Amino acid sequence: MEISVLQRARYKYEPKLPAILSGAVEEIALSLGDASGSAGDALAELFKHSYGKPIAGFIKGKNEKMKRPLTVGVILSGGQAPGGHNVIAGLYDGLKKGNDASKLLGFLGGPGGLLEDKAVELSGEVIDKYRNTGGFDIIGSGRTKIETPEQFAAALETAEKRKLDAVVIIGGDDSNTNAALLGEYFTAQGCATQVIGCPKTIDGDLKNEYIEASFGFDTAAKTYSELVGNIGRDAASARKYWHFIKLMGRSASHIALECALQTQPNVCLISEEVDANKFSMGRIVDVICSSVVKRAANKENFGVVLIPEGLIEFVPEMKQLIKELNDLMAAHADELSGISEFAGLGSWLENRLSPESALLFESMPPEIARQLLDDRDPHGNVQVSRIDTEKLLIGMVEKKLSELKNNGTYTGKFSALAHFFGYEGRCAFPSNFDADYCYSLGFTAFALIACGLTGYISGVRNLTAPADKWNPAGIPLTMMMNMERRHGSFKPVIKKALVELDGKPFKTFAEKREQWAAETCYCSPGAIQYYGPPEACDQPAMTLILERGN
């Protein structure tokens, strides 16, 4: 594989570690806090062997257990996020620092690799080819869920056959919920294999009072912010286009909010605010049109609008339409399979949707309406991420502006371009923050394993301080869970962290957006910097700085 000059240089970057992890491993001692709790008795019943464990930290002290040889398996689960390779590198280096006879096995293609016993031993030579680089290509990822009795039994068989001391699952909220269940199962079956999770997702929705950030968010948000900043500068130069930019974030708007704080667009929609205030599509269009009209009055017929990927799921009438479509298409799958023409599907739906939903469906641009019908997941549900929300809003804004022009309240020009930034950010070279953070998460996972813990997620705290002042920790996975109704029954889940409307990041944005809506205030943060002064290269995300009060 050909490598770039930057990639060759990044191989040589040495990630920074918390001070407690930087010395001799036999001087890393375990420190346990008080017993933990969570949502209640249902979880205690479900996790009989792992509920109520204490938060784990590390202090300086003698600990010969850190030097014992270990065989550990590692799994990348779910979508890619910058820094995953450094988690594996940190885990590998920790294992080898503890005992050169230790082995790290990479299970191929995600959790399915564990079930099918498809693994490779990761050598130092292989690890060195992936240090500080983006992607998950070292072992690949997958979205298999370990949920049936047969799957749990297959995982147990692999763990025992391979004589695994531990499995590390690198993933998001669902993957780490799976890790908790797998750890509980192993213990219940008398299997000594430990299970440790690691918090990953560019969406930034795996965080709480114990986990300050999910890895990959910092890099992805900075990558998108560079692109948004470039577009803002282009818009101010060309002075003739409104750019509608959809950004990744299916359930949470953390990426959109971070990019707004970084780049200062004219409009940034926040799904959580739309949901809390029950904004209709009409209200959303009015917000955008208000900015267009104000700017046109200043002869500025250009602008930037940021849109979270999952926005339409939070709009009440769209939510209702999607629900009705999902229900109808699931209940009448055989009947619908015989209707091939889009016009025929529209006619069939017209008499079956509620009057409000039928009117909304009819008002949509044909290409958007077609996406609602054609793009279905394996369960028959609308794939919201594939809907061109940015194009839908452009069409609705154009229609509203035409009405304003007819009544004389708008005299400007409106020409719009649509963008979607998604995959561009998932496998970028990790920022120094993510490179350091991920390496520390991997090394912390080793420390938790060496200390004999299972059912924990690797955590690193105090992230707005310099890396040597970071605090590695182990958080009991059950401590972050609650019971939620999923598909008709209650299941344990790690709740997604949404944008908090009373939190400092959103409030900081809200204080500025009226000014940004009317004036040209674009910031261009530029490309991610890897070499130079710490204030240019090592700073974490603005939302994290605001959340931590620094």
CA angle 159, 165, 170 (to 5 degrees): 80
- The values of phi and psi at residue 70, to 5°, are -135, 150
Q: Whose CA is closest to 162, among 186, 136, 178, 131?
A: 186
Half-sphere exposure of 292 (CA within 13 A, CB side): 28
Give the other-Cβ count within 10 Å of 304's Cβ.
Answer: 28
Which two three-digit tokens encode residue 32?
A: 């346990």
Q: 200 has which bridge partners?
A: 215
In contact, 522 and 225? CB cutoff 8 Å: no
Give the other-Cβ count within 10 Å of 388's Cβ.
Answer: 17
Give the other-Cβ count within 10 Å of 32's Cβ.
Answer: 13
- The values of phi and psi at residue 107, to 5°, are -80, 130
Pairing of strands 54-60, 28-35: antiparallel
Q: 460 has which bridge partners?
A: 472
Which two three-digit tokens encode residue 241?
A: 């286009």
Q: What is the DSSP letter of 509?
A: H
Region of residue 216 (phi > 0: left; psi between -120 and 50: alpha; otherwise: beta): left
Give CA separation, 456 vs 16, 82, 183, 444, in Å.
23, 22, 9, 11
Residues catalogued as catalytic: 203
Between helix 149-161 and helix 173-188 the angle, nearest 10°, is 70
As a whole number of angstroms, the longest Cα–Cα distance in the chain is: 80
Which two three-digit tokens encode residue 385?
A: 């991420």
Show the DSSP H helices in 306-424 as ranges. 316-331, 333-337, 342-350, 355-363, 366-374, 389-406
